[in-house]
Chain A
Amino acid sequence: MRALLVEDDDMIGRSLVHALKGAGWSVDWVRDGALAHSALADGDYRCVLLDLGLPGLDGTEVLRRARARGDLTPVLVLTARDGLDDRIQGLDLGADDYLLKPFEVGELLARMRAVVRRRSGVAQSVVGNGVVQLDLATREVLRGGAREALTAREFALLQALLEQPGAILSREQLENRIYGWGEEVSSNAVDVLIHGMRRKLGPDAIRNVRGLGWRVAAP
């Protein structure tokens, strides 16, 4: 897979090229906006890593021109600017994601995979957090290579949790996801469901935060 890296800082550029090659990407590295512009025009990249503060042509301008040309290559913005306005501007111009320096290589690679997958148009069929995966097509849960079938309510509950891994969902939020309008909700329905799922998935898969609700670990 080919990626274009637009980064004017030597040290970051060299280190990133090294790290990305280690992860199986082939990387073209350009150091200013004008070169990035022409590289994007001829090359066929699966993903672009774009620094915003560039000499000559600014990163936002490179992005704006690429999108104006109809170029839909996924763009991941890497920047040290993290003001809300900067972020909104970047995303408005058509960036697919935004990563604040300094970042972990693991997170960068995960985000690159995500934007590529999103852009390739393949509907995401599996959601997961690295501990448990949920197959949306078969409604099965995968844990450590083993597959387990889930009831409709168990599936709905786990899907709600895995959509925002790390976030705490309250009892009310979970009940809204597993019960339809006007359905009678028993007071301990969520507890019963989670108790059953812990038996299938292991005691740590769904964690309770006392007084607030339940969460699954973030990836």
Chain B
Amino acid sequence: MKAAAESGRTRTGAPIRWYQPRSLRGQLLAWLAPWVVVGAVVAGWAFYASYGLVLHTFMQTQMEVLARYHVPGGQGDGPPPLQVLSDESVFRWGALVVQVWSADGQLLATSTANPRAAVPLQAAPGHRLVQQGAGWEQGWRVYTAPPAGPGHQRVQVLQSEQFLQEEVWGRTLYVLLPLALLVPALLFTLWWVVGRASRSLRVVAQEVAQRDDRSLGAIPLGPAGRVPEEIVPLVASFNALLARLGEAFAAQRRFVQDAAHELRTPMAAMRLQMENLRPWVPPGEAQQQFAQLDAGMRRAQHLVGQLLRLSRQEAPASAQTPAPVDITAVLRDSVGQWMPLADQRRIEVGFDGTEQVVLQASAVDLRSVFDNLLDNALRYTPEGGSVEVRLHRLDATAGGGHADPAGVVVDVVDTGPGIPPDLRERVFDRFFRVPGTSADGSGLGLAITRAAALRQGLWVELLARSDGASGLVARVHLAPAASVVAKTGLRQG
């Protein structure tokens, strides 16, 4: 009810706008374009008015001069000879038409025979506009000269209003033409300049997007003019923020490393003392207690080791340069490292895969990914179980040729208890353990795995076994993480 009322108010309360541009470029164009058009219209009107005035004044003078020239000297003189004008010169070129009238109002002579120009003699002398019909092209500017005396012939000079109007309009259009060209040029320039400015903003945005906790370098301002002056303060304060952030990250890493380092020394001492104690422990109950103490010691040692590894992995990896890495070779080394644990727990380890995949990546990070996944699988698989490592292509038709990593995954499949679906993302969180599990993991292995994988652009996920048996599939996609995330619709982090 409330929601409905609110949405209604929003709908009716908001002012109605015909156009709401969201971009800076759109807003500038929307605000400036009408002003430019209004300016052009006003300029055109002003020119039309002033040029019309000038032309009329000039023409009136011309008409008066011509009329005076034709006014006869005395009474009864014959009409002076008049040059006959063509229609074209009258209507197109605006030639002045001269009419000579007798004192009693008879047309004695005219320079054109065109009936449109049959303007009657105006009674009062002076200038006026005479309409010979409807429409502006039927109008005439008329000057009736005052009679030289009683009984004298009268002279009237005409000019076509059609010519005058066409003349003024034509001139106005000439003036408006450059303005009309200027409007699109102006708008285009505006569009271009804003585009250029926003492109440099996008460059800055890309630079910002490339920053993460491992690369917090300042955003370059670039050569002069690359970042607009207005944006420089923003970039500068962003750089200051990045610097502070980098210091905070460094301080945190230093703390974790110092802490792990400080923890290792007393643990080494305890370890040695336990070793020294071992021969003196009497058999029976005491030896069982000693074994438990020993196991607890190892667990603490493992945790400190993982913690230190995690903090070190998150430090900028200057030494880890990507190089072509043969995945099968890395898996062989990694499995070899864990075979003693597998033997001890009587777990059958096997590898299956014929794909030859070479990845451009850091071998250290890849080892970290597979080591932790194998450690996890061996830790949670009950004694006598099996761990399978599979290197295979997900979709046989997808992907390109030989050694193309797209669509190729490494699966580490165990026969452990598995992880409920709703916890399969959470176990990547640090120190998170599935409730009820008994194995003595540090809770950091999968966090280390994901961090190392993401750093190499790989994606790690946990799945149920496809054959329905109890167990877990840890899958490493050997393709850029982003594309895999998009494909399977998984959320990251």
B333 interfacial contact with A, CB 8 Å: yes
Q: Are B269 and A215 in contact, with the CB atoms below 8 A?
A: no
| A110 smallest CB distance to B (angstroms) | 14
Question: Is B336 a contact of A101 with CB atoms below 8 Å?
Answer: no
Query: Is B13 interfacial (CB 8 A cutoff)?
Result: no
Interface size on B, residues (CB 8 A): 35
* With A80-B261, A102-B301, A218-B340: A212-B335 Cβ-Cβ less than 8 Å: yes
Question: Cβ of B353 and Cβ of A103 under 8 Å apart?
Answer: no
* Nearest-neighbor residue (CB-CB) of A18 within chain B: B276
Partner of B268, one of A12, A18, A167: A12
Q: Confirm or deny: A149 has a beta carbon within 8 angstroms of a beta carbon on chain B.
A: no
A 174-214 binary contact with B (CB < 8 Å = 1; else 0): 00000000000000000000000000000000010111110
Closest to B334 in A: A168
Q: Which residues of chain B are within 8 angstroms of A102 by Cβ–Cβ distance?
A: 264, 267-268, 270-272, 301
Interface string of A6-29 (1 = CB under 8 A from B): 000101100110110010000000
CB distance from A111 to the nearest CB of B (A): 15
- B75 CB, nearest partner CB in chain A, Å: 127
> Quick check: is A85 within 8 A (CB to CB) of the other chain?
yes
Q: Is A112 an interface residue (CB 8 A)?
A: no
The reply to whether the CB of B331 lies closer than 8 angstroms to some CB of chain A is yes
Chain A residues with CB under 8 Å of B353's CB are 211
Could you say which of B22-30, B190-198, B344-352, B399-407 contacts chain A? B344-352
- Judge if A163 is at the interface, Cβ distance under 8 Å: no
Which residues of B from 464 to 486 have beta carbons under 8 Å from A?
none
Q: Are A101 and B339 in contact (CB under 8 A)?
A: no
Q: B20: CB under 8 A from chain A? A: no
CA distance A12 to B308 in the complex (A): 21
Task: Kindly identify which residue among A16, A80, A211 contacts B351, using a CB–CB cutoff of 8 Å.
Answer: A211
Contact B339 A19 (CB under 8 A): no
Complex CA gap A218/B337 in Å reads: 9
> Nearest CB to that of B317 among chain A residues?
A84
Interface string of A153-173 (1 = CB under 8 A from B): 000000000000011101000
CB <8 Å contact, B269 and A15: yes
Whether A81 sits at the interface, judged by CB under 8 Å, is: yes
- In the complex, which residues of chain B have a beta carbon less than 8 angstroms from the beta carbon of A16? 272
- Flag if B272 contacts A167 (CB, 8 Å): no
Q: Is A104 an interface residue (CB 8 A)?
A: yes
B275/A166 in contact, CB under 8 A: no
Q: Number of A-B pairs whose CB atoms are under 8 Å?
A: 95
Query: Considering the complex, which residues of chain B in the window 269-293 have a beta carbon less than 8 Å from any beta carbon of chain A?
Result: 269-273, 275-276
Closest to A105 in B: B275
Nearest-neighbour CB distance to chain A for B388, whole angstroms, equals 9
Any B CB within 8 A of the CB of A148: no
| A168 in contact with B336 given A105-B275, A212-B331, A212-B351 (CB within 8 Å) | yes
- Asked if A141 is an interface residue, CB under 8 A from chain B, the answer is no
Q: Is the CB of B331 within 8 A of A15?
A: no
> Distance (Å) between the CB of A33 and the closest chain B CB?
17
The CA of A158 and the CA of B273, in the complex, are separated in Å by 38
Q: Is the CB of B319 within 8 A of A12?
A: no
Main secondary structure of the interface of B (DSSP, over half): helix
The distance in angstroms between the C-alpha atoms of A82 and B311, with both chains bound, is 12
> Contact check: which of B267, B272, B319 meets A85 at CB < 8 Å?
B319
Q: For residue B487, which residues in chain A have a CB less than 8 angstroms away from its CB?
A: none
Q: A19-B272, A84-B319 are in contact. Are A210 and B351 (CB under 8 A)?
A: yes
**Which residue of chain A has the shortest Cβ distance to B354 in the bound complex?**
A211
CB of B308, distance to nearest CB on chain A (Å): 7
Q: CB-CB < 8 A to B351: which residues of A?
A: 209-212
Query: What residues of chain B lie closer than 8 Å to A84, measured between beta carbons?
Result: 319
Report whether B332 and A19 are in contact in the complex, using a CB–CB cutoff of 8 Å.
no
Choose among B257, B268, B335, B343 the residue that contacts A101 (Cβ–Cβ < 8 A). B268
Contact yes or no, A166 B269, CB < 8 A: no
Q: Is the CB of A101 within 8 A of B267?
A: yes
Nearest CB of A to B346, in Å: 13
**CA–CA, A168 and B275, complex, Å:** 31
Task: Give the complex CA separation of A159 and B335 in angstroms.
Answer: 21
Q: Does B115 contact A (CB under 8 A)?
A: no
User: Does A83 reach chain B (CB closer than 8 Å)?
Assistant: yes
Residue pair B308, A82 in contact (C-beta under 8 Å)? yes
Residue among A12, A102, A215, A217 with the highest chain B CB neighbour number at 10 A: A102
B488 at the interface (CB under 8 A from A): no
User: Do A217 and B265 contact each other (CB < 8 Å), given the known contacts A12-B272, A16-B272?
Assistant: no
Scan B293-315; emit 1 where CB is below 8 A from any A CB, else 0: 00000000100000010001000
Which residues of chain A are within 8 angstroms of B276 by Cβ–Cβ distance?
A: 15, 18-19, 22, 105
Once A84-B319, A102-B264 are accepted as A-B contacts, the answer to whether A168 and B271 lie under 8 Å apart by CB is no
Instruction: Identify which of residues 244-271 in chain B touch chain A, using a CB-to-CB cut-off of 8 Å.
Output: 257, 261, 264-271
Which of A19, A80, A211 counts the most chain B CB atoms within 10 A? A211
A80 to B319, alpha carbons, bound, how many Å? Answer: 20
What are the residues of chain A within 8 A of B267 when measuring CB–CB? 101-102
- Lowest 9 A-B CB distances belong to which pairs? A211-B351, A15-B272, A11-B269, A210-B350, A102-B268, A101-B268, A80-B264, A168-B336, A102-B271
8 A-B pairs within 8 Å (CB atoms) are namely: A15-B276, A101-B267, A102-B267, A167-B333, A209-B339, A212-B328, A212-B335, A212-B336
Question: Which of B's residues lie within 8 Å of A, judged by CB?
Answer: 257, 261, 264-273, 275-276, 301, 308, 312, 319, 328, 331-333, 335-337, 339-340, 343, 348-353, 389
Question: Which residues does A use to contact B, with CB under 8 Å?
Answer: 9, 11-12, 15-16, 18-19, 22, 80-85, 101-105, 166-168, 170, 207, 209-213, 215, 217-218
Other A-B pairs, 17, CB within 8 Å; known A9-B268, A11-B269, A211-B351 = A11-B273, A12-B269, A15-B272, A15-B276, A22-B276, A80-B268, A83-B312, A102-B272, A168-B336, A207-B339, A210-B349, A210-B350, A211-B350, A211-B389, A212-B331, A212-B332, A212-B335
